[in-house]
Amino acid sequence: MAENIKVLVPEEEVAKRIEELGRQISEDYAGKQVHMICVLKGGVFFMCELAKRISVPVSLDFMSVSSYGDGTSSSGVVKIAKDLDEALEGKDVLVVEDIIDSGRTLYYLLDILEKRRPNSMRLCTLLDKPDRRVRDVKVDYVGFNIPDEFVVGYGLDYAQRYRNLPFIGVVEGVE
* Binding site residues, ligand IMP, CB under 6 A: 42, 67-68, 74, 97-105, 150-152, 156
CA 3 to chain CA centroid, nearest Å: 24
Residue 65 near residue 78, CB atoms below 8 Å: yes
**Residue 31 carries which side chain, given as an amino acid letter?**
G
101 belongs to the catalytic site: yes
What does the DSSP 8-state code read for residue 88?
-
The size of the interface with Mg ion (CB under 5 A), counted in residues, is 2
Of 61, 70, 83, 101, catalytic: 101
Per-residue contact string for residues 135-174; x = within reach of Mg ion by CB under 5 A: ----------------------------------------
Of 21 and 63, CB closest to ligand IMP: 63
* Shortest Å distance, C-beta 57 to ligand IMP: 27
101 binds, among ligand IMP, Mg ion, none (CB under 5 to 8 A by kind): ligand IMP
Of 58 and 99, CB closest to ligand IMP: 99
Residue 138 near residue 170, CB atoms below 8 Å: no
* Shortest Å distance, C-beta 29 to Mg ion: 23
In SS3 terms, 9-76 reads as ECHHHHHHHHHHHHHHHHHHCCCCCEEEEEEECCCHHHHHHHHHCCCCCEEEEEEEEECCCCCCCCCC
Please report, as residue ranges, which positions from 30 to 59 form the binding site for Mg ion (by CB under 5 A). 42
Of 29 and 67, CB closest to Mg ion: 67
Of 43 and 118, CB closest to Mg ion: 43
Strand ordering across the sheet containing 120-128: 79-82, 58-66, 34-40, 92-100, 120-128, 141-145
User: 148, 158, 164: which is closest to 101 by C-alpha?
Assistant: 148
156 binds, among Mg ion, ligand IMP, none (CB under 5 to 8 A by kind): ligand IMP
